[in-house]
Amino acid sequence: MSDNDQPRTATDGGTADAEASAEVTEELPAPGVGETEDHEEHALPSLGSVKRWFVTTNHKDVGILYIVTSLFFLVFGGTLALLMRIQLWQPRAAAGGPLDALAYNQAVSAHGLIMVFWFISPFAFGLANYLVPLQIGAKDLSFPRLNAVSYWLYLFSGLLFGISFFQGGTFAGGWTMYAPLNVPKYMPTAIGSTMAVLALALFVASVTVSSVNFLTTMYRMRAEGLKMRKLPVFSSSILLTVWMMLFAFAALLAALLILTSDHVLGTQYFLSPEGGSLLWTHLFWFFGHPEVYIVFFPALGVMAEVFQTFTGRRLVGRKWFIASMVLVALQSFIVWMHHMFLTAINLEVKTLFMATTIGISLPFDLMVFSLIYTMIKGRIRFTTPFLFSFGALVLFIIGGITGVFLGAVVLDYEMRGTYWVVAHFHYVMVGGATALFGGLYYWYPKMTGKMYDQLLGKVHFVMYFVGFNLLYFPMFVVWETPRRVFNYNPAFTPWHQAATIGGFLLGASFLVMFYNLFVSLRTGEDVGDNPWAYATSAEWAVSSPPPLENFPGIPSYRGGTLSFLDDVVPASEVETDGGQEAIEADGGEVVEPDGVYATHDHGHDSHASIWPFGISLGMFLTFLGIAGLRPPDSTDLVAPGAADPVLVGVGGVGLVVLGVSLFAMAREPFYTSEAPIAERWPYAHVEKVKLGVWMFLGSDVILFGAFIGSYVFMRFNAGWVEGWHVFIENPIPGLMNTYLLLTSSFSVVLAMVAARKRNTPGVIASLLTTFMLGVGFLINKYIEWSHLFHEGHTPSAGIEESTFFLTTGLHALHVISGLVILLYLAWRAWGGAYLGEDEPIEYFGLYWHFVDIVWLFLFPLFYIL
Amino acid sequence: MIGYASLLSVPLQQLVPRGTRVTVFQNIFWVFLVLGTLVGIVVIGYMFWNAYRYRDGNGKDYDDGDLPQLGEIPKDGGKGRKLFLSFGLSAIIVISLIVWTYGTLLFVEGQDTGQPSSDVGVENKDPVVVDTTGYRFNWSFEYENGKETNGRLVVPEGRVVQLRVTSDDVFHNLGIPKYRVKTDAIPGETTRSWFVAEDPGRYRIICYELCGQGHSGMIAYIHVVPQEEYEQFINNESSLSEISASDDESGRLAAAR
């Protein structure tokens, strides 16, 4: 288990010494090796069987599921866009046109949400799922079952969003969901909009699981010799994307949990006149701006790969290209207020954010030039993937130049809320999607083993490119049209009609793509390992499609080029995967460090489990139930209706399904092995589950940070002392709880010590002590809260109460999750587990200590200050 | 900030656009548009030219020396100097443009309270202050003497109008395209903005932030009238109907500009 057992340690410092027993068995190319990979041995049904797609945990299968699902959402979001374009054919009065006002607002909002969340990122992550392990030389992701969980959560979150349309209508407040329009008081579609918010929260859960998984994989499973800065550009772009996702989506999760609570618990955050409205814009854009790069980076990665292959040149200034991406990823977290230039922020702050905004645009100039210069002295082949990537670069240049207009604050003042913004971000975002379609055409032969019709591919590109520009360029011309409005100036009509025609052309172009790719599955010409000359990355060195475990041996770049070493996995390397990991209903995931540490013959990695589906189904049903809840005591705040008992019942069923599935997945024997030789800098000495726990805790820090920040923001706006009614008069319960938690951290350490000493009663006793202390914490809190409720301090009584109950409530939820895991640990210890294997307890301890530390912040903030 | 503004803009006095918001916007917008178009044509043109010149099969200039090999560790394609030269050029263009507009930003920011600068170009230096409140789905305006109007803003010609904008319910955004003025209307906050009321007539006031079902129709009107008419109006000596007799269509078309 520990890294000490490993035959050797690789670092990124260039000292990757290899074990002598690992021999180079094959030089490239190695056609067809591994094609005979047997499926039955892994209990994975064949590709043709429906069951396979429900149980698979293989990264390539999951990648295909992601891609197919995201294309479905492309059609969904695209249809909504076409409805909007029909409405905009001419200026309409409120009742005119095919959509009424509310329906139009729903279409606008759902189009934005679906395209940003359910189409473009998952589409990129379909490609990433399929290709990143191949490119870095890994058999799969670190936690294959968690990868499947990510996918199913994604699918179910989209379904939940779809169902929200049938709950009286979905969310209608724009994809930016500005407060306080986003609370039920102003939302005529109360349950539907709650459900849409919850769908987003479920999506964030999927993203968080996925981010942790990719980070752990990319830091722990690279082929020997593949240092971090030597990753193929697509993989580099994904690495930076998941880093941004880990933190940015945590901020979004905070915003969504607060919003959900405003919907179903009656808290007062966003309705509060003490800056509730601004709080949302801060939280949303702190997520929202990195999101732009989260969407665009994978597209940059695809462009770089495709440009290199089809020009037959290496990327010019490769290291500066990657350095630019790193710079952008870091800076992306300090530009969010440029979305808020017209709110009441002062000149100093505006100046600062103007500067950071210009700063973040410059690295993109370098990347654009780098791509252009890569073409020089190349041998450019205008294949479908290249056309799409080339087109994407053209569109991105236009999007970038028009973005500089918005960077000039004086112009931004006038362009805010107009079609200039709409046109600009569609050139950037849909420009990015253009590159991703290029990526699909680039890797389709790898995924299917078939080539599509190149002519139809080019027809698609021409229709797409013409349609795109006909759709979005007129929006620059009539940029004075206000966003999300169908009653525009009649003088703009011809331009809007051109845009509508362009929209339909763009939509129709996809019919060509779907036809081409679908038919080619059967009739396409077989391709070999590598249909594209000058492709260099590892996915092209294996068969198309690649075998189940990707490589015919252990990939290594020791000699400077890719070779495959003899498979020499010592049995001690065998580990379990997701048995240690559990997903939880609080929207984030909690790593449950337990599992089946059986010794197992290597080479029989598991690839099938139904429980990721079960867990996600359970969460889906649970979230359906939460959407049906309404605050008990604040009917005046909630426009229509009371709780929906049917939905709530469904939620109850969901909790049961979730619990059973979590337990079953934890108990399920599931084996994954880690390659004995891999680049693991800088985490060579951090075991993968531990690394995963740390990554997750990193995002949890942002989640709590956002909650605490929200409290501080609201209190500061109200007036820290004079404007804020501190209703907690007795800090003693809080103080008692501080000591209870601190003591419980200590008893977790005792459990580890006992495990090391192979003392089963000691382990059980220490774990149960921890459990009892945690229960004591909750009982104490229960008494405190009921006392407060009796005094009229309910969550809906005011912003003071809202912040207190929600922030400490989120913490209590973390405690409860910890207790569930503790029970499981104790039960396993009863069966004799963990003796000499204290890692699961250690990883639980990390989580538990973190929960303690959070309380050490919450206690003074809410009880003393 | 004003002191800082004048300090910065002394050498730029002639360069930095000043005047009404319309003047300022038009000047900067056109410079950006012309430069942006130029840069776009050069860069995209260069792309196409290279794509054409180095197309496969034209047999020239191809560097066969060091072709990318399958399975190689990713390597750098060189040409770092050229890259940095172009990057430097683009950075200079972008940064100088933004710094240039920053001077104007300081100027614009200085006018929303107190006496306007002489650069604004109005004779009557007294600003007209109007408290504006957005509500679903209209705007209400409160004048300095306490008079209130709904859906109609009446201002005197040739004066600086300073707006104090807030909202009664949700997040709105008030914009008068004719005068290039726009500011958020946020519940619990007050934002400030200003414009010069030129050209008597009737123009649209539009909401630029999605605020619910009536958002598309949340249009109010601004009536720019001569000073005497304005005074009569706010002193209740004339009614809205007398003022709103001004030409509807000219206002609508003007909003299109």
Could you say which of B32, B54, B210 has the minimum Cβ distance to residue A181? B210
Residue A785 pLDDT greater than 60, yes or no = yes
Note whether B15 contacts A: Cβ–Cβ < 8 A.
no
pLDDT, tens digit (0-9, with 9 covering 90-100), for B95-146 = 998 899 999 999 999 899 888 888 888 888 899 999 999 999 999 999 999 9
Q: What are the residues facing B111 on neighbouring strands?
A: none
Q: Is A277 within 8 Å of B39 when comparing Cβ atoms?
A: no
What does the pLDDT read at residue A577? 44
Distance CA A325, CA A797 (A): 46
Output the pLDDT for position A720: 92
Cα separation, A407 vs A392, in Å, equals 22
- Does A711 have pLDDT greater than 50? yes
Confidence of residue B7 (pLDDT cuts 50, 70, 90): low
- Cβ(A77)–Cβ(A119) under 8 Å? yes
- Look at residue A600 in the predicted model and tell me its pLDDT: 39
Contact yes or no for A396/A429 (Cβ under 8 A)? no
DSSP lists the bridge partners of residue A671 as: A576
User: Which stretches of A509-573 are assigned E, i.e. beta strand?
Assistant: 525-526, 554-556, 563-565
Work out the average pLDDT over A286-311: 97
Query: For position A603, what pLDDT does the model report?
Result: 55
Peptide bond into A184 cis (omega under 30): no
Contact call for residues A216 and A691 (beta carbons, < 8 A): yes
Domains of chain A: 725-865 (1.20.120.80)
B164 touches chain A (CB under 8 A): no
Partner residue opposite A186 with nearest CB, options B47, B97, B169: B169
- Average pLDDT for A54-76: 97
- Kindly determine whether residue A561 and residue B29, on different chains, have CB atoms separated by under 8 Å: no
> What is the distance, to the nearest Å, from the Cα of residue B109 to the centroid of all Cα atoms in its chain?
12
Query: Is B59 touching A (CB cutoff 8 A)?
Result: no
Cβ atoms within 10 Å of A419's Cβ, excluding its own: 26
Q: Quick one: pLDDT band at residue A738, thresholds 50, 70, 90?
A: very high
**Residue B163 has what DSSP assignment?**
E
The whole-number pLDDT of residue B220 equals 95
Residue of B75, B210, B217 with shortest CB distance to A487: B217
Percent of chain A with pLDDT over 70: 90
Residues in chain A within 8 Å Cβ distance of B172:
none
Dihedral of CA atoms A149, A154, A160, A163 in degrees, nearest 10, equals -130
* Residue B83 near chain A (CB below 8 Å): yes
pLDDT band at B255 (very low <50, low <70, confident <90, very high): very low
Q: What is the pLDDT of residue A631?
A: 83
Q: How many angstroms separate the CA atoms of A520 and A181, rounded?
A: 47
Report residue A571's pLDDT band, with 50, 70 and 90 as the boundaries.
Answer: very low
Q: How far apart are CA A157 and CA A205, in angstroms?
A: 9
Following DSSP, what letter does each residue of A578-625 receive, concatenated? GGG-EE-TTSSEE-----------TT----B-SHHHHHHHHHHHHHHH
In terms of phi and psi (left: phi > 0; alpha: psi -120 to 50; beta: otherwise), the region of A582 is: beta
Q: Which residues 200-239 of B have a C-beta within 8 angstroms of A?
A: 206-217, 219
Residue B75 contacts A, CB cutoff 8 Å = yes
Query: Does A582 have pLDDT greater than 70?
Result: no
Task: Compute chain B's Rg from CA coordinates.
Answer: 26
Nearest CA in chain A to B212: A173
State the pLDDT confidence band at A606, using cuts at 50, 70 and 90: very high
- What digits encode the pLDDT tens for the residues B26-36? 999 999 999 99
Token pair of A384, please? 């479908």
Say yes or no for a CB contact (<8 Å) between A181 and B87. Answer: no
- In this prediction, residue A592 carries a pLDDT of 38
- For residue B79, the model assigns a pLDDT of 73
Confidence of residue B11 (pLDDT cuts 50, 70, 90): low
User: Which range (A255-269, A421-435, A462-476, B68-82) has the least confidence?
Assistant: B68-82
A842 Cβ neighbours under 8 A, 6+ residues apart:
A593, A690, A752
Nearest to B79 among A277, A312, A316 (CB): A316
Is the predicted pLDDT of residue A17 greater than 50, yes or no? no
Chain A environment of B43 (Cβ under 8 Å): 368, 372, 397
Q: Closest Cα to residue B153, out of B173, B168, B131, B137?
A: B131
Q: What band does B12 get if pLDDT is binned at 50, 70 and 90? A: low
Question: In a mutagenesis test of the B interface, which of A414, A556, A717 is the best target, namely the one with the most B β-carbons within 10 Å?
Answer: A414
Residue A633 has a pLDDT of: 63
- pLDDT average, residue stretch B172-191: 96
- What ipTM score was computed for the predicted complex, to two decimals? 0.92
Instruction: Check residue A93 and give its pLDDT.
Output: 82
Residue of A nearest to B76 (CA): A318
> Which of A173, A320, A377 is closest, CB to CB, to B63?
A377
Structure tokens at B72: 């190689």
Chain A residues closer than 8 Å to B78 by CB: 314, 316-317
The answer to whether B116 contacts chain A (CB < 8 Å) is no
pLDDT digits (tens, 9 = 90+) for A384-426: 999 999 999 999 999 999 999 999 999 999 999 999 999 999 9
Across the interface, do A482 and B206 touch by the CB < 8 Å criterion?
A: yes
Question: What does the pLDDT read at residue A33?
Answer: 39
Chain-wide mean pLDDT for chain B?
Answer: 87
pLDDT at A182 over 70: yes
| Residue of chain B whose alpha carbon sits nearest to that of A346 | B109
pLDDT at A232 (0 to 100): 97
Instruction: Judge: A375–B69 Cβ closer than 8 Å, yes or no.
Output: no
Q: What does each C-alpha distance from A706 to A280, A332, A803 come to in angstroms?
A: 11, 17, 12
Phi, psi at residue B122, to the nearest 5°?
-110, 150
Angstrom distance (rounded) from CA A571 to CA A673: 9
The pLDDT, as a whole number, for residue A559 is: 87
CA distance A820 to A75: 41
Give the N- to C-terminal CA distance of chain B in Å, as an integer. 33
pLDDT exceeds cutoff 90 at A15: no
Nearest to B43 among A232, A397, A530 (CB): A397
How far B80 CA lies from chain A's nearest CA (Å)?
5
Q: Which amino acid is at A255?
A: A
Please state, in angstroms and rounded to a whole number, the distance separating the CA atoms of residues A376 and B92. Answer: 24
Mutation choice for B interface testing from A401, A487, A558 by most B CBs within 10 A: A401
- Give the integer Cα–Cα distance in Å for A380 and A315: 14
**Inter-helix orientation angle A839-859/A799-830, to 10°:** 160
Q: In A629-699, at which residue ranges do the beta strands (DSSP E only) sit? A: 671-673
Contact A313 B77 (CB under 8 A): yes
Question: For residue B179, what is the nearest residue in chain A, using CA coordinates?
Answer: A414
Q: What is the DSSP string of A358-406?
A: HHHHHHHHHHHHHHHHHTTT--B---HHHHHHHHHHHHHHHHHHHHHHH
Q: Decide if B2 touches A, using CB distance below 8 A.
A: no
CB contact under 8 A, A376 and B50: yes
Give the integer Cα–Cα distance in Å for A76 and A82: 10
Percentage with pLDDT > 90 across chain A? 82
Report pLDDT for A344.
85
Contacts of B190 in chain A (CB under 8 A): 344
**Smallest Cβ distance to B54: which of A28, A232, A379?**
A379
CA distance linking residue A121 with residue A66, whole number of Å: 10
Mean pLDDT calculated for residue range A445-451:
97
Q: Work out the widest C-alpha separation in chain B, in whole angstroms.
A: 89
Q: Strands A450-451, A582-583: parallel, antiparallel or unpaired by DSSP?
A: unpaired
Taking an 8 Å cut-off on Cβ atoms, the answer to whether A105 and B39 are in contact is no
pLDDT in tens, A129-158: 999 999 999 999 999 999 999 999 999 999
| Res A543: pLDDT | 95
Cβ–Cβ of A480/B55 closer than 8 Å? no
B30 touches chain A (CB under 8 A): no
* Residue B85 predicted with pLDDT over 50: yes
- The confidence band for A732, taking pLDDT boundaries of 50, 70 and 90, is very high
Which residue in chain B has the smallest CA separation from A478?
A: B256
Secondary structure in 3-state letters for A469-515? HHHHHHHHHCCCCECCCCCCCHHHHHHHHHHHHHHHHHHHHHHHHHH
Partner residue opposite A376 with nearest CB, options B54, B180, B215: B54
Contacts of B256 in chain A (CB under 8 A): 480, 489, 491-492
Q: What is the mean pLDDT of residues A667-685?
A: 91
pLDDT of A22 strictly over 50: no
Cα separation, A608 vs A603, whole angstroms: 15
Does position A551 have pLDDT exceeding 60, yes or no? yes
A105's enclosing H/E stretch is: helix A101-113
pLDDT band per the 50, 70, 90 thresholds, residue B240:
confident
Nearest residue on chain A to B75, judged by CA atoms?
A314
**How many contacts, defined by CB atoms under 8 Å, are there between A and B?**
302
Stretch among A169-173, A515-519, B224-228, B238-242 having the lowest mean pLDDT:
B238-242
Say whether B54 and A380 touch across the interface (CB within 8 A).
yes
Q: Give DSSP secondary structure letters for A802-838.
A: HHHHHHHHHHHHHHHHHHHHHHHHHHHHHTTTTTT--
Q: Which one of A111, A309, A413, A486 would you mutate to disrupt binding with B, by most B Cβ within 10 Å of its Cβ?
A: A413
For an interface test with A, the pick among B4, B26, B94 (most A C-beta atoms closer than 10 Å) comes out as: B94
The string over A200-215, giving b where at least 16 C-beta atoms fall within 10 Å of a residue's C-beta and e elsewhere, is bbbbbbbbbbbbbbbb
Quick one: pLDDT at residue A348?
Answer: 93
Give the mean model confidence (pLDDT) for residues A231-239. Answer: 97
Question: Is 90 exceeded by the pLDDT of residue A97?
Answer: no
Nearest chain B CA: its distance from A276 CA (Å): 8
Q: pLDDT value at position B63?
A: 61
**A360-377: pLDDT as tens digits:** 999 999 999 999 999 998
